[in-house]
Amino acid sequence: MTASLFIIRYKKIFIPFAFFAMAVFHIPLLCSHTIYFYKLLGSGKAGSFSKVPDLMQWAVFFTGSKESSGRLPAFMQQWVKIFKCEVLCFTLQPLQSKGSWDGNTLFETFVQPVDENKPIAILTRATIRLSRLKEFWQNVPPVSAKLHQAKGLILSVGIGEIPLVKQATFSVWQSLDDMKAFAYSQKEHAEVIQKTRQRNWYSEELFTRFKITGCTGTLNGKNPLRDYDLNL
């Protein structure tokens, strides 16, 4: 099974059509025989969990067969072309995964070797308990600030289904070591990981490491992996 993430950026004048797309895009995705699971997602401005939405930026995540990898259904391809959207697409192969998304175990719990000299992508997704919302969001700003200063971070995008409650971060790192250094050695982030377990912030969560098998298109005029050898 493969996964694909499309980050779609609209021009400001077309923001109303971006909202409309979140309804009509269900039809081609549901009708596809090669897509097994999908989510239509909004995007935050902070590059990680964020209270402030970026109404110009949206995302589509799905898993499916190799035939669907990195390819939007035809209707969606025409849509983003008509509205002159900027699209950045990652094609992904799961290396390690635990947890679920809306009750779905997307990938088997397994561990595959990671090429330490290649970029790696991380998807961290959670449903935050309503009783823990205030406490959770009080702890987000310090971690977000440190994330953008982290050694080896190439890209971080905050995405989510429901504002404040169902949130995710997709991040790309130069290496697994860089990601681990931030996750476990960076003080603020390590403390939040500990609090997550102690305070039971999440009712559901998913953590997946991916090998990046492709990166096409641009975001804000740049392809973040243009200068990296993905050995495709």
CA 139 to chain centre: 20
> Whole-angstrom Cα distance, residue 205 to residue 193?
12
Tens-digit pLDDT profile for residues 124-159: 999 999 999 999 888 887 788 778 888 999 999 999
Report the CATH fold assignment for 2-217.
Alpha-Beta Plaits (3.30.70)
Is residue 177 within 8 A of residue 108, CB to CB? The reply is no
Domain positions in the chain: 2-217
- DSSP sequence for 74-92: HHHHHHHHHTT-EEEEEEE
Q: Is 194 exposed, middle or buried (0-12, 13-18, 19+ CB in 10 A)?
A: exposed
pLDDT category, 190, cuts 50, 70, 90?
confident
CA angle 200, 161, 28 (to 5 degrees): 140
Q: What is the pLDDT of residues 191-221, one digit of tens each?
A: 888 888 888 999 999 999 999 999 999 999 9
DSSP 113: -
Name, in order, each residue with C-beta under 8 angstroms of 110's C-beta and a sequence gap of 6 or more: 96, 97
Report whether 225 contacts 95 (CB < 8 A): no
How confident is residue 110, by pLDDT bands cut at 50, 70 and 90? low
* Dihedral over alpha carbons 146, 116, 158, 100 (to 10 degrees): -120
Res. 232: pLDDT tops 60: no
Interaxial angle between packed helices 140-147 and 187-199, expressed in degrees from 0 to 180 and rounded to the nearest 10:
140
| pLDDT tens by residue, 29-65 | 999 999 999 999 999 887 777 788 999 999 999 999 9
Q: Which helix (H) or strand (E) holds 16?
A: helix 15-24
User: How far apart (Å, rounded) are the C-alpha atoms in residues 79 and 10?
Assistant: 11
pLDDT digits (tens, 9 = 90+) for 151-173: 999 999 999 999 889 999 999 99
What's the rounded mean pLDDT across residues 62-81? Answer: 96
